[in-house]
Amino acid sequence: MSFTNSRIKLSFIHSIAMLFLFSGLMPLPSLAGTIEGRVFTESGALKDAKVYVFKDYKDLQEGSFYLISGATDQEGLYKFDLPEGEYYFVAKGSLGDKDFFSYHGGNPISIGNQKMWLPLIANEVKMPVISDAAGSLKGTITFKGEPVKDVHISLYEPGDKSFKGLGFRTERIENGVFNLAVPPNKYVVIARKMEGDHMMRPLKSGDLYCYYPQNPVEVKPGKIIHMELPCSLKGEKTTKGNSYQTVDELRESFRFGIKGKITDRDAKPVQGIYIIAFKGDPSNNFASYRNVQDKANISRTDKNGEYFIPLDSDGFYRIVARNKLGARTGENEFFMLYSGNVRHGFDFKEGQVIDNVNMVIEKTGDVDIGGSK
């Protein structure tokens, strides 16, 4: 009897020992964050909508979701937990015989172990109309059914990660009606109207964000794609508070990147200069940066000559100042590399703020550098 008891005790001790051993070797699951929000349309809360979570944009295109919420209630409310990571959020629902879709303008969004308030504003899904002619994208940018004036429309390749910056092409549209001749390809179509006519910055309350529900759009040879591009008003807070934070509040508390000031030779601030942080190999020469199409890491100096470029990935960034944006520098355009060190840039680590990246510029010939204050 004692022999049996001894074997049972030894077996129990062995099991406990193995449990501790393997619990030390096995990775522990990431802490979860609580995501809560509401889904709206222009007319109010969208009942029975669902929020879909994707790990990357390719999964979103394929419909391979990581998580799907339960149906929203009468107030459009939803709630779920997510492990720490980076995700894309969209919402889908119906109202009568109309389908609605929302793509969050902050995508991809980093989730930690905090509580996040994430409202989504859904627009009606209207299918594109295709006609024969030279390949182009043609349509109207609307808000509440009316054309949006003085708005920027951008085309991105589906392989881009965040769909920010100029992308493949960006145009300013004065009356809300656009007609863009483009080569055959797939494009993610997004428009933005920034309060204060400040194009290069993160979205803020009061801005319009316009994501085409049928993205990505494929332009085929000899075809015109006719579309209506609906906009949503940016405004995170719609109730909730206390321990819950919005995307804007979280990003404001973790403002990592590069900041500085642009002045002229008389130490006066220069407004309206574009500052671009090109990520790449520090051994690349000066000339190669003249022909790189500007991407996401862009800022523009304010009335005090100050700028901030938010960054979220490690790497070497070369700093360039320009008075205009585009694929290459043309005649009577201003172009200047940061000269504070021999590499014209910095090694950035996530979580850093690199300050005092200042530049002194002057007007050369007929080049308009944005105007000194």
* Tens of pLDDT, residues 156-194: 999 887 788 778 888 889 999 999 999 999 999 999 998
Q: 15-29, 133-147, 333-347: which range is least confident on average?
A: 15-29
Q: Which fold has domain 32-119?
A: Immunoglobulin-like (2.60.40)
User: What class, spelled out in words, does domain 255-360 have in CATH?
Assistant: mainly beta
Domain 129-233: give its CATH code: 2.60.40.1120
Q: Is the pLDDT of residue 226 over 60?
A: yes
Determine what percent of the chain is predicted with pLDDT higher than 90: 45
Cα 55 to the chain's mean position, in Å?
Answer: 14
Q: Is the pLDDT of residue 2 over 60?
A: no
pLDDT at 31: 59
pLDDT at 265: 87
pLDDT at 87: 95
Sequence-distant (≥ 6) Cβ neighbours of residue 51 within 8 angstroms: 37, 39, 68, 69, 72, 78, 80, 89, 90, 91, 120
275 phi, psi to nearest 5 deg? -115, 125
| Most confident of the ranges 210-219, 289-298, 359-368 | 210-219
Note whether 297 and 165 are within 8 A (CB).
yes
**How many C-beta atoms surround the C-beta of residue 2 within 10 A?**
6
pLDDT at 162: 79
Closest CA to 299 of 326, 272, 280: 272
**DSSP codes joined into one string, 301-315:** --TTSEEEEE--S-E
* Tens of pLDDT, residues 325-336: 655 555 566 778
pTM comes to 0.71
pLDDT at 370: 45
pLDDT at 32: 76
Note whether 292 and 328 are within 8 A (CB).
no
Q: Is the pLDDT of residue 16 over 50?
A: no
Q: Is the pLDDT of residue 373 over 90?
A: no
Domain ranges of the chain: 32-119, 129-233, 255-360
pLDDT at 200: 59
pLDDT at 20: 39
Strands 32-41 and 77-83: what pairing?
Answer: antiparallel
Angle at 343 between CA 338 and CA 345, to 5 degrees: 50
**DSSP codes joined into one string, 88-149:** EEEEEEEETTEEEEEE-TT-SEEE-SSEEE--EE-EE----EEEESSSEEEEEEEETTEEPS
Torsion of CA 249, 253, 256, 259, to 10 degrees: 90
123 pLDDT tier (thresholds 50, 70, 90): very high
* Tens of pLDDT, residues 45-88: 999 999 999 999 999 999 999 999 999 999 999 999 999 999 99
Q: Is the pLDDT of residue 283 over 90?
A: no
Note whether 69 and 37 are within 8 A (CB).
no
Q: Which amino acid is at 168?
A: F
pLDDT at 27: 42
